[in-house]
């Protein structure tokens, strides 16, 4: 389980990111982290992803403090896909997918290529294997980036605004695909897309001004949001 205990983070310029956040994110779920801009969603994701270190509190993964875990062990258990995706433009789709298992897991190229093509096939984008990021659509690039994140078979995959580049139908297809994978990987989705997360998530967290306002079943979170804008 991924667990945050009284976590606070303040940026160097004095801006408060999150304050005293405590969460338990259950495995085998799709978790939606919601809130207005500036509510602390991305800061929470960055803390969980070990890109920033909280000044206060503790984050554990399967009982281990993430900041004392071996980096390789940690990255095998938790992956992250940022909104900008960060696909390498000079590598084709297949080469992008193969990077992590080749360099992190030290697998041989033939094995990695077979596993990468299988992952792309599961996502329905295996026909893009030889194309470069500049030659594919936003929705296709999103799937490629997530496929790359899944290649290490992490327990948790953090997704930052995953539907921002997708149209409505592609978002629906993408959500269906995530649901089919949640028994293997728990997805934690930071998003403004309330409709999308309501359709696919089972557990939700609502942040407000850097604090947890509500957590629980996703329907309860959506009701809270709707009540606040009426």
Q: At what angle do helices 138-150 and 93-103 cross, to 10 degrees?
A: 20
Question: What pLDDT is attached to residue 81?
Answer: 87
Question: What pLDDT is attached to residue 2?
Answer: 94
Distance CA 225, CA 97 (A): 37
Compute the radius of gyration of the chain from its Cα atoms: 18
Distance CA 85, CA 194 (A): 21
Q: Which CATH fold topology does 2-38+48-228 show?
A: Rossmann fold (3.40.50)
Q: What is the pLDDT of residues 178-223, one digit of tens each?
A: 888 888 889 999 988 888 999 999 899 999 999 999 998 998 888 8
Distance CA 208, CA 114 (A): 44
pLDDT values of the chain reduced to their tens digit, one per residue, 230 residues:
899 999 999 999 999 999 999 999 988 889 999 998 899 999 999 999 999 999 999 999 999 999 999 988 898 899 888 877 778 999 999 999 998 888 777 788 888 899 899 888 877 788 999 999 999 987 788 888 888 888 888 899 999 988 876 778 778 888 888 888 888 889 999 988 888 999 999 899 999 999 999 998 998 888 888 777 65
CA 74, chain centre distance (Å)? 15
Q: Long-range contacts: 49-52, Cβ < 8 Å, 24+?
A: 49/78, 49/80, 49/158, 50/74, 50/78, 51/80, 52/9, 52/17
| Consecutive H or E run containing 222 | helix 218-228
**Domain residue ranges of the chain, discontinuous segments joined by +:** 2-38+48-228
| Consecutive H or E run containing 159 | strand 156-160
**pTM, two decimal places:** 0.85
């Amino acid at each position: 389980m991924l667990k945050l205990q009284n976590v606070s983070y303040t940026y160097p310029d004095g801006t408060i990111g999150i304050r005293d956040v405590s969460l338990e994110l259950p495995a085998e779920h799709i978790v939606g982290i919601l809130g207005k801009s500036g509510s602390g969603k991305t800061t929470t994701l960055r803390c969980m992803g070990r890109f920033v270190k909280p000044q206060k509190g503790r984050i554990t993964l399967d009982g281990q403090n993430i900041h004392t875990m071996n980096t390789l062990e940690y990255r095998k258990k938790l992956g992250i896909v940022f909104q900008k995706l960060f696909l390498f433009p000079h590598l084709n789709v297949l080469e992008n997918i193969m990077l992590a298992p080749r360099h992190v897991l030290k697998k041989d190229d033939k094995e990695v290529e077979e596993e990468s093509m299988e992952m792309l096939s599961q996502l329905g984008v295996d026909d893009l294997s030889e194309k470069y990021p500049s030659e594919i659509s936003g929705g296709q690039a999103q799937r490629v980036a997530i496929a790359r994140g899944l290649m290490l078979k992490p327990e948790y995959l953090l997704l930052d605004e995953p539907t921002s580049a997708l149209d409505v139908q592609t978002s629906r297809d993408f959500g269906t695909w995530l649901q089919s994978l949640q028994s293997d990987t728990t997805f934690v989705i930071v998003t403004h897309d309330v409709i999308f997360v309501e359709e696919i998530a089972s557990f939700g967290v609502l942040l407000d001004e850097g604090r947890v306002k509500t957590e629980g079943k996703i329907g309860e979170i959506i009701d809270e949001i709707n009540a606040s804008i009426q």
